[in-house]
Amino acid sequence: MSADASDIPADSWIDRRAPAPWRPYMRLMRLDRPIGTWLLLLPCWWGLAMAPRPAGFGAGDLAFAILFAIGAIIMRGAGCTLNDILDRDFDAMVARTRGRPIPSGAVSVRGAAMFLVALLLAGLAVLLQFNWPTILVGAASLLLVGPYPLMKRITWWPQAWLGLTFNWGALVGWTAVTGSLDWPAAILYAGGIVWTLGYDTIYAHQDKEDDQLIGVKSSALALGSVSKPWVAAFYAVALALVAAAGLAAGLHPAFLAGIAVATALSATLVWGWSPDDGRDCLARFKANRDIGLIVAAALLAGRALA
C-alpha cells in the first residue's frame, strides 16, 4: 500500500465541525466512518423486526430501534477503541492505519483507556433501558468483544469471531420484544455470522500484503485465490439462514421477496469484485449496509403482514 493510503477520510465533517480537542476521540470511535456502526446495528434491527408481537408494532418498537442505534454508535466506538489500544504497534506498521489517533500520538494509551471506560458506562446506561433478560444477553456480548482484537494473532479466521460479536444484536433485538431466546433468533444469529464472513473477507483483502509482512492472519490470506467463490457461498448460506429464521418465526411468506432482492444484490456485489483492488474492496464492503437494510425491511414487512 502507498503511504497515502490512510483510512482516515480527509476533510471529513469531524474536521469541519467538531471542536479540535474532540477530533482525535471522535476518530477513535470511527464516527467519520459509519459503516461499522451500521453493520453492528442491523442485526439488532433484524431481531427486533422478526420477533413476534401479539399486539403488533407500537411506539415502544420505535423507542427500541432508537436505543439500539445509540447503543451501536457507543459500543462500536468502544470496540474500535479497545482494538486500537491492543493493535497500536501493528497499526504503526501499516500504511492504512498508522495515522490513527493512538499510533500517531494524537491520543495516549491512558487517555484511550479512560475514554473506553466512559464509553462502556454509556453503553451500560443504554442497556439498562431494556428488560432484564435483554440486559443479561447484552452484557454477555462483552465476552466476545474483549478477545476479538487478539484473534488475528491466533486464527486464520478472525472474521468468524467478528461475526459472533457483531451479530449478537440479533439475539438482543429478539429478547427485547419477547423476554426470552428461541430457535428463530438463533438461526438469524447464525445467518448474521456467515454474512460477516462474507463482507469482512472482502474488507480483509485490502490489508493482505501488510498482514503477511507483519505476521497477522485473516480469512483473505487463508482463502487466497479462491476467495471469490467462498465469499459467494457465504452470502448464499447467510441469506438462506435468514429466510429459514423468518419462516421459523412465522413471518408472512411475502418477506421472501425482500430476501430474494438482497440475494440478487449480493450476487452482483461478488460477481464484479476485484480482490486485488483495495478501493473496490472497500466500496463493496460498504455496500453491505444496503443489503442489511433490505433484509431489515423484508423482516419488518413479514412481521407486519403475519
Residue 6: predicted pLDDT: 67
- Burial class, 11, CB count within 10 angstroms (exposed 0-12 / middle 13-18 / buried 19+): exposed
User: Using an 8 Å Cβ cutoff, are 64 and 198 in contact?
Assistant: no
Residue 12: predicted pLDDT: 86
Give the residue from 298, 237, 249 showing the smallest Cα distance to 45. 298
Q: SS3 of 263, please?
A: helix
Q: What is the pTM of this model?
A: 0.94
Cell of 82: 479497545
User: Using an 8 Å Cβ cutoff, are 264 and 225 in contact?
Assistant: no
State the number of CA atoms in the 13 A half-sphere of 300 facing the CB: 16
Helix axes 183-204, 169-178, angle to 10 degrees: 150
Residue 303: predicted pLDDT: 97
Residue 215: predicted pLDDT: 86
Residue 193: predicted pLDDT: 98
User: Using an 8 Å Cβ cutoff, are 74 and 36 in contact?
Assistant: no
What's the average pLDDT block by block, 10 residues per block, for the chain (306 residues)?
59 88 94 95 98 90 97 96 90 82 93 97 97 97 92 94 97 97 98 98 92 90 96 98 98 98 98 95 97 98 96
